[in-house]
Chains A and B, each alone.
Chain A
Amino acid sequence: MSNTSRFVASAVVVLALASVLAFVASHRKAGPTGAAQEAAAPAASVAAPAPRPAVAVVPAGSGLDAIRRGAELDKEIAPPPMARVENTDIRRNRAYPMQPPTIPHSIDNYQIDRNSNRCMLCHARANADKFQAPPVSVTHYMDRDDQFLATISPRRYFCNQCHVVQTDAQPLVANGFKDIDTVLSEPNKAN
């Protein structure tokens, strides 16, 4: 063999070897090392259950034991189905004029922190036209001395302090609240 051909032959061999090495290396990377991470991933952990008709989970007369749903202390009972957030986009009545309205839409993964306030994307005064959401009322711009601030007041920044979503869970404790209209329209028992 001449110098030339020896050289060319070895060049080809080196190239081929390099490719094979790269190939193997990349496969190893994709191989067993990844398995650990795979195991750490939740297996569809929060798969929502199929919708079920809402059923009362509180046995009648169980009183304060509502949280254990009447079960004896040493008994394990099956957990009730997970409640789902109502996402109907239909605004609800307020029970009294100063009530923070409940949120008629889901707020999953909305970021509210120092960096960003997702709620104000839609509920800001300046974005009402874009998203057709009711802008926060003027009280949200007031500080505690009733001064109007240019931006949302710090004490109203964390919306979920006052506004909450509603779920289809059955109430554990009955609610006997009557709003003022009901009270006013009741026949006056005193007379």
Chain B
Amino acid sequence: MWAWMKRCLLVFWHTLRRPSVHYSLGFLTLGGFLAGVLFWGAFNTALEATNTERFCTSCHEMRDNVFQELKTTIHYSNRSGVRATCPDCHVPHNWTDKIARKMQASKEVWGKIFGTIDTREKFLDERLVLAEHEWARLKANDSLECRNCHNYASMDLTRQSPRSASIHKRWLGTGEKTCIDCHKGIAHHLPDMKGIPQG
């Protein structure tokens, strides 16, 4: 068995090292290019497929906890019928950040496989930690994901309630605070907030 595998590997290695005999460089380049395109396409398609709410809520940890809570909020159902899905708020749009976030999210998938959050109780115990990651991320990028949809420059403050308008003008207009400072818990229930500053 081992000898056979070694032989295979050796053949592979030699093949890789030897220049091609029968096919033109052009063919090989083109072939490589096509394979590359196919691979890239598949990679990105797989990425897109995991970038949907269906995927996010296909495991029960997310479906039974955070998704149920999202359903009662304005980001699930509202008068204008525009929805915010999980990736809208949780996955950055630019590619490098997206991959970085995906790798981080793999940790949560890891958590699922090894049962770190596989019951409601365990999830609640871990919740503060998970939430703090999100707050830190949104704080660091000035609530970029919120701003992909909500733009202060496009907010008609006269159409907001006086309470919202005055607060936004004072804190958002001046850039002193960002969305997540005041809008924690906008999509899910908050964990125990003792000692965590809000607003």
Contacts and interface: CB of A to CB of B under 8 A. Distances in A.
Contacts of A47: 79
Interface in B36-54: 38-39, 41-43, 45-46, 48-49, 52, 54
A3 interface: yes
A122 B167 CA distance: 11
Given A8-B20, A12-B35, A105-B163, A30 B52 contact: yes
Contacts of B171: 130
A78 B198 CA distance: 44
Contacts of A161: none
Contacts of B49: 25-27, 29-30
A121 B198 contact: yes
B72 interface: yes
Contacts of B115: none
Contacts of A29: 49, 54-55
B5 interface: no
A7 B54 contact: no
A45 B23 contact: no
Interface stretch (A15-23, A54-62, A136-144, A178-186): A15-23
B74 interface: yes
Contacts of B162: 88-89
B57 A23 contact: no
Contact of B22 (A5, A26, A114): A5
Given A16-B38, A37-B57, A3 B72 contact: no
B81 interface: yes
Contacts of B54: 29-30, 33-34, 37
A125 to B, nearest CB: 13
Contacts of B32: 12
Contacts of A108: 74
A47 B74 CA distance: 11
Contacts of A27: 45, 49
Interface stretch (B89-97, B150-158, B188-196): B188-196
Interface in A51-77: none
Contacts of B22: 1-2, 4-5
A15 B198 contact: no
B199 A45 contact: no
A115 interface: yes
Interface string B68-97: 000011100101010000000000000000
B166 A132 contact: yes
B199 A109 contact: no
A1 B79 CA distance: 66
Contacts of A45: 77
A127 B38 contact: no
A34 B145 CA distance: 25
A18 B18 contact: no
21 contacts: A3-B15, A5-B23, A7-B15, A8-B15, A12-B35, A19-B38, A22-B43, A22-B46, A23-B42, A23-B45, A25-B46, A27-B49, A34-B54, A42-B77, A44-B81, A89-B161, A89-B163, A105-B163, A108-B74, A109-B74, A115-B190
Interface of A: 1-5, 7-8, 12, 15-16, 18-23, 25-27, 29-30, 33-34, 37, 42, 44-48, 87-89, 105-106, 108-109, 111, 113-116, 118, 121-122, 127, 130-132
Given A7-B15, A111-B189, A116-B190, 18 more contacts: A4-B18, A5-B20, A5-B23, A7-B12, A12-B31, A22-B42, A22-B46, A23-B41, A29-B54, A34-B54, A37-B54, A89-B163, A111-B185, A115-B191, A130-B171, A130-B199, A131-B167, A131-B199
